[in-house]
Amino acid sequence: MARAVGRSHHEPGVASVSSAPVSRSGSVDEEVGADERLDGKVVRAIWKLSRLRRETLRVIWTECDPAGTGSLDKDAFVKGMWRIDEELRKAQMNQHLSPRLYVRQPKPAHPPKPILR
């Protein structure tokens, strides 16, 4: 059974991870309301799966939670996920480009002749 976002029993208006029914199409039957927020611990657990550096995730968190509330609303969470995806695309592009950027020139068969005497 998949895990989905649902209401927390600890704090009203802050969502936490709980089990929710999942349809055969893979979509979650429960939605997060506009007034609900995801707790920072839940977001951290999800975002750590990206394997981005902590510093990068910290910058993204600051962009998404500028008021320092320690939780994200739905729009801020989506923005953060988009930024994580953007960083992963950048890393993938750099990985594909790096072999081309660091092509070594072959060493000459004999040492160069001195021009100045």
Domain that residue 40 falls in: 3-96
* Alpha-carbon span 64 to 75, nearest angstrom: 9
Residue 54 is encoded by which pair of tokens? 């902590």
> Looking at residue 100, what is its pLDDT?
58
> Looking at residue 9, what is its pLDDT?
44
| Total structural domains within the chain | 1
pLDDT tens for 57-116 read: 999 999 999 999 999 999 999 999 999 999 999 988 887 766 555 556 677 677 777 777
Residue 21 lies in a domain: yes
Residue 37 lies in a domain: yes
Task: Say which CATH number the domain at 45 has.
Answer: 1.10.238
**Residue located via tokens 């950027």:** 101
Residue 115 lies in a domain: no
Residue 113 lies in a domain: no
* Alpha-carbon span 104 to 59, nearest angstrom: 35
> Looking at residue 12, what is its pLDDT?
43
pLDDT tens for 9-28 read: 444 444 444 444 444 555 55
> Looking at residue 115, what is its pLDDT?
74
Residue 36 lies in a domain: yes
> Looking at residue 93, what is its pLDDT?
82
Residue 102 lies in a domain: no
